[in-house]
Amino acid sequence: MEERKLEQATRQVEWRDLVSMSRAEGVRECLHPLPWLAASWLAAHYSLWPVALGCSFMFFLTALRLNHEAIHHNLGFSPRGHRLVLHALSVVMLGSNHSVAFNHLRHHAHVDTPRDIEGKCGRMTLARVLRYGPHFPLECHRETWREGGPAWRNRLAIDLVLNLALPALAITTGWQALYFHFGAMLVAQCLTALFAVWITHRGCRHDPLVARTQRNRWINLASYNMFFHLEHHLFPAVPVKRLPSLAGRIDRLAPWIERRAGRVVGRGPTAKGAIAVEANAH
C-alpha cells in the first residue's frame, strides 16, 4: 500500500526540467574539490595537521559528489567525458572510481537485495560498519572484476594503474603534503561505508522510502546537498545541485514523504517507523 502511495505521489512531481546540464555547469561541478585539495596540501606543507585533515575531509566529500554525478551522467558531458572524470578522480581519491560506479548503479537497480553490495552497509550497526569499512572498497573492486564484464574490468584496471601516480610523485619529490594526502585518502576509503552509505540508509531496510533526507539548510550547505539522498533515489537523473528544488516540489505535492522520512543528521523518524505511525493513525 505504501509503495503504491509513493508511486502515485512521485508521478505528480515535475522533475524533467531539472535534468539538463550544460557543459559549463559540468565544468563548474568539476571545480568544487580543487580549493579543498589545494588548501589541504598547503596546510600539510606547513604541518598544520588539524586544518589539513578538515580540508581533506571536505575534498573527499566534494570528490564523492563529483564521482556521483559522473556515475549518473549528470554533468552534461558525453559518456566518454564522464568516464574520464572517474579516471581523474581515481588518481587523487585512490582506488577505482569505476568500481564505485558499477556497485552504485547496481545499488539503484537492486536496492535491498543480495546483489546490493553498497546498500548492505545501511543494514549494519554503527560498530559493524566501522569494522567492515576497510573491506568495503576491496569488496567493490572484487565484485566489479567478477561481475562487470570486459568493459568494466578494463576501466577498473586503468584506475588502478592511475593509482600509482600519486605515490610515485610523493617518492620522487619527497613532499610531505603528498604523503599526507595518500594516508588521508586511505583512511577516507576505509570510512566510505560509514559516511557515504550507512549514514543515509540506516534504518530504512524493507521500506518504500529507501533512504534518509535532510532539511536543515546549514547542514545541506556544509554537505554540498549530498544529504538529499531520498530525493536522489526517487529521481536519480536530477543533478545534486538541483535536489533542493526537487525537494521543495515534493514537499508541496506530497508533504507526508518529508514527514515520514528519517533525517541524515538530527532528530526525525526512520522511514519504517514513520510509515508505521501513519498506518496506525488511519
Q: Distances from the Cα of 51 to the Cαs of 21, 99, 112, 218, in angstroms?
A: 34, 30, 38, 21
List the chain domain ranges. 1-20+208-282, 32-202
Q: What is the pLDDT of residue 239?
A: 98
Q: Distances from the Cα of 217 to the Cαs of 36, 119, 189, 214, 265, in angstroms?
A: 21, 26, 27, 8, 12
CB-count exposure of residue 217 (10 Å: 0-12, 13-18, 19+): exposed
Q: How far is CA 43 from the centre of its chain?
A: 26
Q: What is the pLDDT of residue 272?
A: 52
CA distance 79 to 89: 16
C-alpha cell belonging to residue 55? 580540508
Residues of the chain with pLDDT under 50: 271, 273-282
Q: What is the pLDDT of residue 101?
A: 98
pTM as predicted: 0.92
Q: Using H for helix, E for strand and C for coil, what is the string for the chain? A: CHHHHHHHHHHCCCCHHHCCCCHHHHHHHHHCHHHHHHHHHHHHHCCCHHHHHHHHHHHHHHHHHHHHHHHCCCCCCCHHHHHHHHHHHHHHHCCCHHHHHHHHHHHHHCCCCCCCCCHHHHHCCHHHHHHHCCHHHHHHHHHHHHHCHHHHHHHHHHHHHHCCHHHHHHHHHCCHHHHHHHHHHHHHHHHHHHHHHHHHHCCCCCCCCCCCECCCHHHHHHCCCCCCHHHHHHCCCCCHHHHHHHHHHHHHHCHHHHHHCCECCCCCCCHHHHHHHHHHHC
Neighbours of 156 (CB within 10 A): 23
